[in-house]
Amino acid sequence: MGKFGNRLLAAIGVEEVAVDEQEGFYGEQEYSQKPERERKRRGEAKNKNKGKVIRMYDYETRVMIYKPEGFEQARDIVTHLEHREQLVIDLDGMDKENAQRIVDFISGATYSLRGHIVKISRNIFMAVPDNVELETNGLGQEEEYAAYFNDIQYK
């Protein structure tokens, strides 16, 4: 300001305050042109995650073993398959007609859920959802569906 302005302000009792450009306002954040990742030291970023173990899956896998007494339980078996559980179905002691209906029902549900069903032994089948890879060593994968019932022992 000029001399007159300075004298006027001095007469009123107001002093001119010099503003430091480096000060800024209270609460104002300081911004820089470089991103934060460039400001970090290289060694600091590398050692940050060292020694940590990260779990890939947070769910437990269950295998349900069923020995149904009748066709009425087939729906319960499929419910477990819908919840992505592995199933072992034991048809020992069932009459041929009910056993075939149960296998037909579970096979259809397994197919619709994109899972797999395989014959393990004479009266035992395993059904797995699509998230389980089922590897067999010639346990019936090559057989046709109708061949499942050729050697089942019934009452």
One pLDDT digit (tens) per residue for the chain, 155 residues:
677 777 777 777 676 566 555 555 555 566 566 555 555 555 555 555 556 666 666 566 778 898 999 899 999 999 999 988 999 999 998 999 999 999 999 999 999 999 999 998 889 999 998 888 877 776 554 444 444 444 544 44
Q: Say what the pLDDT of residue 147 is.
A: 47
Structure tokens at 109: 């549900």
Rounded to whole angstroms, the Cα distance separating 64 from 85 reads 7
Residue type, 33: Q
pTM over 0.85: no
Note whether 119 and 125 are within 8 A (CB). Answer: yes
Structure tokens at 93: 């002691």
* DSSP annotation string for the chain: --HHHHHHHHHHT--PPPPPTTT--TTPPP--SS-HHHHS-HHHHHHTTTT----S--S---EEEE--SSGGGHHHHHHHHHTT-EEEEE-TT--HHHHHHHHHHHHHHHHHTT-EEEE-SSSEEEEE-TTS----SSSSSSS-GGGGGSS----
Could you tell me the domains of the chain? 63-133+140-153 (3.30.110.150)
